[in-house]
Structure 1
Amino acid sequence: MKRLPIPEEERFAAASHSARVTSRIGLGLAITFTVCFLTGLVSHLIQHPPTWFFWPSRPIWLYRVTQGLHVVSGIASIPLLLAKLWSVYPKLFGRPLVRSVPHALERLSILVLSAATFFELTTGLFNVAQNYPWTFYFPQVHYAVAWVAIGSILVHVAVKLPVLRRALTREPAEAPVPPPAGLSRRGFLRTTWLTAGVSVVATAGATVPLLRNVSGLSWRTDHGTQGLPVNRTASAAGVRQAAQDSAWRLSVVTPAGARTFSLAELRALPQTTAELPIACVEGWSQSASWRGVAVPDLLRIVGAPPGSSIRVSSLERYGPYGVSVLPGEHTADALTLLALELNGEVLDLDHGFPCRVIAPNRPGVLQTKWVSKLEVL
């Protein structure tokens, strides 16, 4: 059998493989991926706050914006990454394969960069679709690999900085040469930017209400029970029977003692109505009208000061978010509710009946449903 010759790097003369194209796309990818990394870091810190971290309760839309940016910038990074890989793949055929130790380290760093970035964007896209064809715990692995990806990007930029400077500055006029076959440099760049823009517009309706009518690929619109999407149903959480039990009581524990409230007693307390968005880590968000007992009012009733941190426990025993902590900046906010109604109706079972937490500027995974116990810390 005749062996096909291995092409040489110099044989790839298309304009899409030029250093200028690679640098411009790389710069765009660095911007979108950095935005994705920083907003993802914010989300991680909110869910796993260290002692020094502070996240306010106002403005109520801030997390909605940061997490929407996280997902949108991640989606924009996908076509940019593919275009970047296309522009540089001829370098795989460069000879010799390893010219020096620094060259070997550079190639290894590019391999790590490509693998980590591809992993982050691919698994993030699966997470948006709530499809998990793997056995590892997505948040931990996604967070860890994000640091590998951003670190490798910084190393790559530092190594390639001289090349970037040359490629991104205006080149001196040269004698005209016949243009290479195929798409021109500008044509390839325009196609790349257009593809990234279309991918954003086609999906951003999940978090940008103004785009919902034109985002054909957006996930999670306002369709759902009581006009609000449901990520985890009562059946999936295994709480259907306990949540509908007439003997259900809310237990509120303070340093001074404990007190219980029936659903009728909670409804008899002063009620507060608030228009608040619920924003999930998958990037979708939706505003709704909530009505229930303001947490500061409930704390005063049981003799605890508003601004105290509260551990919230759900009837769901085995889920990773069956317990959450409401920090003091939220328990002091009059818009933080123990919600009993949604959009003018009694909470549906899948939305957290008999009661749930809804607090401004919090991830949806921390808006605990099917609440059974509040502990003042």
Structure 2
Amino acid sequence: MPGSAAARPTWWPHFTSTVRSTALTARLGRALGIAFGICFLTGLLSYTQYLSTSWLPKPAVPAWGYRLTQGIHVTTGLASIPLVLIKLWSVYPTTFRWPPFRSVKRVLEIASAVVLIAAVSVQLVTGLLNLLDWYPFGWDFVVVHYALAYVVIGSLLIHIAIKLPDIRYGLGTKLAEGDVLSEVPWDENPDSHSNAGPLPPPVTPGISRRGVLVAAGTGIGLIVITTVGQSIRPLEPLGLLAIRQPSKGWQGVPVSETAAEAGVVEAAQDPAWQLEIVGPNPYVLGLADLDALATAEAHLPVAANKGWSVAADWRGIPLPELVERAGGGPGSRVLVRSLDRTGIKSSQIWGSQLAQALLATHLNGERLALDHGYPLRLIAPNRAELFCTKWLTRIEVLS
């Protein structure tokens, strides 16, 4: 009879482990679904930093908002890598069910799994490479990462819908019980919740199903603890996997892009440097003017899209003062331009972030280091470090 053990070719792969089970897979899947949901929502918040749309305001309060959400996004993404691998380990025997395409439901299950695995693999691998500042792929990381997030979530929801009976069965079954992913082929009921068929657990297993969950949770917990030190200062000594650490950088703040990488060393150190402010009443400021105007102080975090962040003491010129002098006001949109030749050359700021923005000349009591944006950089609350533009050369009051 089709689907029976006798009909399965002898060369077809089979599995004998009784550790894998529907109950174990369902619990791993639940954890992964939660992780993906957190990554998706915090990723959407992060993407708003890239949008210069007036209908989507960027609040200045809380000042540490981006620091929190992006830190969670990066940490959860890193933790998802081993979780995905464990989940795939728990289900890969189902790939070799015989016959492989027994029903329409089975075909849909395979198709949704293929799309999901492919999208997740690209998303996690390129996300990790982004943290390492390595872009061997030929596309815009931010655009693809954002678009692919919808593919991941969409295919995940479809896969959940198809597998919902198995998920309900697995979550409602004790780990010590439940059906086993093994060599046993499907039974005659194609709609059975069993992944492969029941087998008794071994008398002395190398590791129990509960042990798999404990080991996975412990490993993922270690990844989190050794990563979050890049955004939670007290845990910095444990940050063995942190890409950057707050204390390891000029003036106590990490550097995402150096002046040499941006190609601005000579221009930023030019004694004749001037800041051009363009508006109804245009004017320019020189280096000597900065020192006379830099009297405001603020304690604000700087938070990178790669997950690291640190709070610092800044001193400089309130941006609204310069905007008002140029003929603008609280409702103005302001474009700040950089000497940078390679990275983010300009960014816009408006609304409550503009009201509290600072053009920083000093960091932690010292004149800005060249790699931190000397002679002048933008610092604003709840704003990605990428858009706290360094090496300023021009400010345009747009409205």
**Bucket of the pairwise TM-score, normalised by the shorter protein:** over 0.9
Q: Structure 1 residues 231, 172: closer, same or farther in 2, change over 3 A?
A: closer
Identify the match of residue 193 of structure 1 among 217, 225, 230: 217
**Structure 1 CA distance for aligned equivalents of residues 253 and 332 of structure 2:** 30
Structure 1 residue 143, shift from structure 2 partner: 1.5
Q: 1:215 matched to which residue of 2?
A: 239
**Aligned partner of residue 213 in structure 1, secondary structure:** helix
Q: CA separation of 1:106/1:51 partners in 2, compared to 1, >3 Å: closer, same or farther?
A: farther
Q: Distance in 1 between matches of 2:349 and 2:200?
A: 66
The percentage of aligned residue pairs carrying the same residue is 46
Shift of 1:173: 11
* Matched AA of 2:270: D
CA distance in 1, matches of 2:201, 2:106: 31
* Structure 1 residues 274-353: aligned runs within 5 Å: 274-319=298-343, 321-333=344-356, 336-353=357-374
Counterpart AA for 1:331: L
Question: 2:338 is aligned with what amino acid?
Answer: S
Answer yes or no: is 1:5 the counterpart of 2:11. Answer: yes
User: Counterpart of 2:77 in 1: which secondary structure?
Assistant: helix
**How many angstroms apart in 2 are the aligned matches of 1:172 and 1:226?**
52
Q: Over the residues paired in the alignment, what is the CA RMSD in angstroms?
A: 2.2
Q: How does 1:7-22 map to 2 (within 5 A)?
A: 7-8=13-14, 11-15=15-19, 17-22=20-25
Residue segments in structure 2 that go unaligned for 5+ positions in a row: 1-8, 179-198
Helix, strand or coil at the partner of 2:164: helix
My pick for the range that moved more, 31-40 or 207-216, is 207-216
Partner of 1:137: 140
Q: How does 1:1-377 map to 2 (within 5 A)?
A: 5-8=11-14, 11-15=15-19, 17-170=20-173, 178-180=200-202, 181-221=205-245, 222-254=247-279, 256-269=280-293, 271-319=295-343, 321-333=344-356, 336-377=357-398
Q: 1: distance between equivalents of 2:290 and 2:331?
A: 21
Q: Distance in 2 between matches of 1:173 and 1:73?
A: 29
Q: Decide which moves more: 259-268 or 131-140.
A: 131-140
Shift of 1:158: 1.4
Cα deviation, 1:121-170, whole Å, max 9, x if unaligned, reads 11111211222232222112211211111111111111111211111124
Aligned residues of 1:14 and 1:182 also touching (Cα < 8 A)? no
Instruction: Evaluate the alpha carbon distance shift between residue 183 and residue 285 of structure 1 in structure 2; reply closer, same or farther with a 3 A threshold.
Output: same
- Check 1:117–1:174 CA distance in 2 against 1; reply closer, same or farther (3 A cut): closer
Tell me, yes or no, if the aligned pair for 1:292 and 1:337 is still in contact at 8 Å: yes
Q: Secondary structure at the match of 1:217?
A: coil
For the residues of structure 2 that align with 1:111 and 1:199, how far apart are their CA atoms? Answer: 27
Q: Which runs of 5+ in 1 are unaligned?
A: none
Deviations 1:329-359 (A, max 9, x none): 21112xx110111111111111111100011
Q: 1:48 to 1:122 in 2, by over 3 A?
A: same
Count of residues in Structure 1 that have an aligned counterpart in Structure 2 = 368
